[in-house]
Structure 1
Amino acid sequence: SNSWLEIQWYLFSAMFLLAASYTLRRNEHVRIDVVASHFSKRTQVWIDLFCFTVFLLPMTLIVLYYAVPFAWLSIQDQEMSSNAGGLIVWPAKLLIPVGFFLLTLQGVSELIKRIGYLMGKVEASEFEKHVATPEEEIAAIKAANKLN
């Protein structure tokens, strides 16, 4: 039925929009490390600062500027799907500003961490991607199993 198809894209939207900030926190977003890996850590941090301030934060703020009224209008109208048996639409539209608000907050957090690193107040491990070794993964699984 149409409601099953719609719930599918609602869930995908929620997963995509709400996980973006978490992915930024874990430093897992797709990037081209081939070039950046040849630079010093300090230069990499300067590149991150540039990208956060010139690309990420302006983009998230522009999306928020348009998404908030878009979602608010949908909530006010109690917008429903035009499909027979369709779902209410406003929860999915509300995910857009919520997801981008969280991404903006995380972007500001990452910006502060990078500035802290340049000032010597934050360790690079606070924002570097940590790839677990097989031994660490096994230890984490064992620890999780002990909790259950």
Structure 2
Amino acid sequence: MSSLRKILKFIDTVSETSGWVAKWFALVLVFAGTYEAVSRHFFNAPTEWAYDVLCMAGGTLYLLGASYDYLHESHTRVDMFYNMLPPRGRAFMNVICSLFLFFPLMLVMFRLAFTWAVRAVTIKEVFFNSFWYPPAWPYRTVFAVGLFLLLLQAAANFVRDLYFVIRGETLD
């Protein structure tokens, strides 16, 4: 049981680190957006790169922050009935929803994201949203990594919830 706790703690640490990295992309969003707005409106000199940077930074923030949000239960949940359940009932609901809703959807999304990332590297894909044409593989790879980290954190939460449902005690 001690090794399982260490694995779960390691996954939590990875999610914390991912959230720490993700928050810096909020700063990239602010600076790139500000630079573009000032450049466009005050100097009549729009950039070629700002739109792509904003899209990629926003997506990176969202994807790398997903496992952090899941760790801290900050994700969106319809909790009208969920909050009325006792703690063991909530854990049971988490287990059932994870098995039948979350994991199937996320596994399909991860498989597609991984395929897209490999394809982007293989064909040297670029984005065509602007005349900058940045390479697509870094963003596609972050997309796959973010989904993998989310799945990893979901597995850790699933193990904790299942343990709580069966044993009635937390696994911390």
State the TM-score bracket (shorter-chain normalisation): 0.7 to 0.9
Q: CA deviation at 1:54?
A: 0.9
- Secondary structure at the aligned position of 2:74 is classed as coil
Q: Tell me if the contact between 1:17 and 1:99 (Cα under 8 Å) persists in the aligned partners.
A: yes
Greater length-normalized contact order (CA 8 Å, ≥ 6 residues apart): 1
Structure 2: distance between partners of 1:2 and 1:37: 48
Q: Tell me if the contact between 2:63 and 2:142 (Cα under 8 Å) persists in the aligned partners.
A: yes
Query: 2:25 — aligned with what?
Result: none
Q: CA deviation at 1:47?
A: 0.5
Q: CA deviation at 1:68?
A: 1.2
Query: 1:75 — aligned with what?
Result: 121
Q: CA deviation at 1:37?
A: 1.9
Q: CA deviation at 1:86?
A: 2.8
Query: 1:100 — aligned with what?
Result: 147
Q: CA deviation at 1:108?
A: 0.5
Structure 1 gap ranges (5+): 127-148
The AA in structure 1 aligned to 2:119 is L
Distance 1:2 1:86, change over 3 A: farther
Number of residue-to-residue matches in the alignment: 125
1:10 lines up with 2:52 in the alignment:
no
Q: Tell me if the contact between 1:2 and 1:85 (Cα under 8 Å) persists in the aligned partners.
A: yes
Q: CA deviation at 1:123?
A: 2.4
1:31 lines up with 2:53 in the alignment:
no
Distance 1:92 1:112, change over 3 A: same
TM normalised by structure 2 equals 0.67
Q: CA deviation at 1:122?
A: 4.3
Structure 2: distance between partners of 1:10 and 1:91: 9
Structure 2: distance between partners of 1:122 and 1:16: 32
Query: 1:61 — aligned with what?
Result: 107
Structure 2 gap ranges (5+): 1-46
Q: Tell me if the contact between 1:64 and 1:97 (Cα under 8 Å) persists in the aligned partners.
A: yes
Task: Render the CA deviation track for 1:19-50: whole Å, top value 9, x for unaligned.
Answer: 11110000111112231222221111111101
Q: Tell me if the contact between 1:17 and 1:95 (Cα under 8 Å) persists in the aligned partners.
A: yes
Higher-helix-fraction structure: 2
Structure 1: distance between partners of 2:48 and 2:125: 16
